[in-house]
A and B are shown apart, each in its own frame.
Chain A
């Protein structure tokens, strides 16, 4: 079969690092080709080379067998290469159609003429089943819609080779399904897709072939149909990874945390996002709140941790009413919180790792004397946590949090929250956007906490995570608990039905 794009022996060095070491990637016409690797494996660099953002130090790029030079993204575009970046490049106060034509607007006598453009966009939208409202503002549409706009941008420019950089990281399970359908449709029409990801499930579901990178080196290319998830993860990580989480069995008894008839306002509108919810979390158990994103999980967690006031209801911690307690009182009183958005809530990116590790206890006698920070104690403590939790960073405790990888940022948060020795640990999507190795580590830590007698409240959108980790599952739908399930007696399909709201069960 012919290759539409060949990247042969690409080497790209940065001062001190070889980001790409003699990498070969061959994309067939009409296939979905996954590019798999852990964070920092060199996927982004390789794609930047293809997209003209970097010039390779060695190696050649061939398009349909002809060697080409790609000096900047404009060259890439001219050669029919388009890219959907992980963080969308859209103008938020422009409409969908304005964003699509941006940069190649059709004009008449110097004035914009949108009619033709609109017609072409509508045709493309029909042909590839990419439904969008061309007159809607970007700021008003969902992330999934925004991604469709990005795809339409590529199609509008008649790109033949489409690069998707971690396209599913921001999507809900349903949106991911839709996206996969769209990708299959695109290849049917003859487009070729490069799909960057570290989610094995998605590769198994949609990709034809898969090229694996590890630490800047080429590991191999596999026919997806001929390999298993385990094979791929071993290629990616370089060792066997266990997906099954090993857990001891416990008979959880003692209630640590109780929520009574809780109602919380939405952050987006005047409605209540959480409605009359009651549940208990016990020692030695992982209670999982499963649900599709936006069904009130965020507000529930904000109310539990004090980031948002409650409308009505009670929160009881170790027998005490903490409904009105301040965030600091809750933190000190035994609530640990791994937040949903680690950049917004979890870390102060401009602070060093050490400063972030003491974010919740800098004011205690350990790190403070008469109002002065005890730097010795702070750095000693940071070094201990770095060792214990294997947090990797360029300059140890002095590393700015901003420059750390996502996995290590999450490890830092995890270290801080676990070392705070909470009675109940609230973990919200703790593995979002992380690679397999980091996910495995974080799952293990959560189970260890449970085994150590802590109560763990896990809020997750990943069905696999829910099924593997939890001892008990509560399903949340439109702000209400619609089912209480035992993971050993239920299936992913059943769970999915409850999450989608098409089935309701009993909640104690």
Chain B
């Protein structure tokens, strides 16, 4: 028997082992599928191209790894947003809206609050991003708690409201007319040595902050009474109510925390000082939606989401270099999407592997 201080959440428990192997098998199947597409679209270059996907993340050595971490940072946060909400029984499709609203808040504060000293300035901008994202998720939370409006509908609507509002607000407050995008924030995240580890890449201290958030959320979900309550409401709202847990409050808090995470993710991206701006176009922020496969692949566990985010960033980065082997960008997108899509099947693999292990054990 396990020693009793190991909660079921701890890393090496059988449950997590099953999750890990299933995620990895899903990835392998996804990779194989990607190879098939490569073979169909350009047989001569297929194997070379596959190699590029597999090792593309390392292209350019330390710089490549730095880029992977940079791309991973926002999707780890949105993945955390989706995964956290899911652990508490809510399906947050609104990470995209929370993300873009957070981005706007970060840019607004980052551009205009120049009277703040630099150290406080980026913190203020990042906090603003988190608060804006949280507020954006509060409304669906209230609707769910008090009127039982399904959060999927509410958050999808909030995505569009968020996108158009931000477009409007950007043109009114922080507009760079020449480029049809937001101005460049003065506030920039500190590098914290990342520039020395991975020279010439865009990575910065934001990755540390993402990892810190992963750890915080892991502790919150698995070790605290607050997490116990949130999960209880997610699993069974009636029983939580029966136990005297304030389910309404917890649903709202859960949505707000999810929104804060997505908002911070946006702050980390737009304050990176890497030339990323809010473009005034009618497209929902893709980082928000990428959070969904990240959360699925990571089985909604914070630690899993960290690695899933890294993996998807790695594959995306590899795909980027595919252009060198004569693949059109559309095919690359299809391959990446296929890998991510199959990765989301990890739940199916989880059941299969779980059954297999149980079968072996009982014999």
The verdict on A362 contacting B244 (CB below 8 Å), with A15-B359, A349-B236 known, is no
B223 touches A346 (CB 8 A): no
Residues facing A in B239-257 (CB within 8 A) are 239-245
Assess whether A337 is interfacial by the CB under 8 Å rule: yes
A373 touches B224 (CB 8 A): yes
A350: chain B residues at CB < 8 Å are 235-236
Assess whether B51 is interfacial by the CB under 8 Å rule: no
The verdict on A348 contacting B225 (CB below 8 Å), with A15-B359, A375-B4 known, is no
Q: How far is the CB of B63 from chain A (nearest CB, A)?
A: 41
Task: Give the distance in Å from the alpha carbon of A86 to the alpha carbon of B240 in the complex.
Answer: 27
Assess whether B7 is interfacial by the CB under 8 Å rule: yes
Residues facing B in A350-386 (CB within 8 A) are 350-352, 355, 359-360, 362-363, 367-368, 371-373, 375-376, 379-380
Q: How far is the CB of B163 from chain A (nearest CB, A)?
A: 35
B224 touches A359 (CB 8 A): no
Contact of B235 among A348, A379, A398 (CB under 8 A): A348
A371 touches B241 (CB 8 A): no
Most buried by A among B226, B228, B239, B358: B239
A327 touches B244 (CB 8 A): yes
Complex: chain A residue closest to B227, CB-CB: A373
Assess whether A271 is interfacial by the CB under 8 Å rule: no
Q: How far is the CB of B336 from chain A (nearest CB, A)?
A: 33
Most buried by B among A348, A367, A368, A376: A348
Q: How far is the CB of B118 from chain A (nearest CB, A)?
A: 34
Q: Is the interface of B mostly helix, strand, loop or mixed?
A: helix
Most buried by B among A15, A305, A332, A352: A15
B242 touches A379 (CB 8 A): no
Contact of A373 among B4, B225, B242 (CB under 8 A): B225
A359 touches B243 (CB 8 A): yes
Complex: chain A residue closest to B234, CB-CB: A350
Q: How far is the CB of B354 from chain A (nearest CB, A)?
A: 12
Assess whether B210 is interfacial by the CB under 8 Å rule: no
Assess whether A314 is interfacial by the CB under 8 Å rule: no
Task: Give the distance in Å from the alpha carbon of A432 to the alpha carbon of B226 in the complex.
Answer: 33
Interface residue range, chain B: 20 to 34
A371 touches B226 (CB 8 A): yes
Task: Give the distance in Å from the alpha carbon of A75 to the alpha carbon of B24 in the complex.
Answer: 40
Assess whether A430 is interfacial by the CB under 8 Å rule: no
The verdict on A355 contacting B236 (CB below 8 Å), with A16-B363, A346-B242 known, is no
Task: Give the distance in Å from the alpha carbon of A398 to the alpha carbon of B8 in the complex.
Answer: 8
The number of inter-chain residue pairs (CB within 8 angstroms) is 80
The verdict on A359 contacting B232 (CB below 8 Å), with A15-B362, A337-B242, A379-B4 known, is yes
Q: How far is the CB of B321 from chain A (nearest CB, A)?
A: 43
Interface residue range, chain A: 35 or more
Task: Give the distance in Å from the alpha carbon of A330 to the alpha carbon of B226 in the complex.
Answer: 21
Q: How far is the CB of A34 from chain B (nearest CB, A)?
A: 32
A119: chain B residues at CB < 8 Å are none
Task: Give the distance in Å from the alpha carbon of A352 to the alpha carbon of B6 in the complex.
Answer: 13
B226: chain A residues at CB < 8 Å are 371
Assess whether B2 is interfacial by the CB under 8 Å rule: yes
A373 touches B223 (CB 8 A): yes
A372 touches B225 (CB 8 A): yes
Cβ contacts B323-335/A at 8 Å (1 or 0 each): 0000000000000
B362 touches A362 (CB 8 A): no
Task: Give the distance in Å from the alpha carbon of A437 to the alpha carbon of B71 in the complex.
Answer: 61
B8: chain A residues at CB < 8 Å are 352, 398
Cβ contacts A323-344/B at 8 Å (1 or 0 each): 0001111111000010100001
Residues facing B in A283-332 (CB within 8 A) are 305, 307, 326-332
A345 touches B225 (CB 8 A): no
The verdict on A373 contacting B5 (CB below 8 Å), with A327-B241, A327-B242, A344-B239 known, is no
Contact of A368 among B4, B225, B238, B239 (CB under 8 A): B225
Task: Give the distance in Å from the alpha carbon of A371 to the alpha carbon of B8 in the complex.
Answer: 18
Task: Give the distance in Å from the alpha carbon of A379 to the alpha carbon of B2 in the complex.
Answer: 12
B224 touches A371 (CB 8 A): yes
Residues facing B in A405-420 (CB within 8 A) are none
Besides A347-B236, A375-B4, A379-B4, 18 more A-B contacts (Cβ < 8 Å) are A14-B362, A15-B362, A305-B242, A307-B241, A327-B241, A327-B243, A330-B244, A344-B236, A345-B242, A350-B236, A351-B231, A355-B228, A359-B232, A359-B239, A368-B225, A371-B225, A375-B7, A397-B4
Query: What are 24 A-B residue pairs whose CB atoms fall within 8 Å in the complex?
Result: A307-B241, A327-B243, A327-B244, A337-B242, A344-B239, A345-B239, A345-B242, A347-B236, A347-B239, A348-B239, A351-B235, A359-B232, A359-B239, A360-B243, A367-B225, A368-B225, A371-B225, A372-B224, A372-B225, A373-B228, A375-B5, A395-B1, A397-B4, A398-B8
Q: Which 10 A-B pairs have CB atoms at the shortest separation, nearest pair first? A: A328-B244, A15-B362, A16-B362, A327-B244, A345-B242, A350-B235, A379-B4, A359-B243, A348-B236, A348-B235
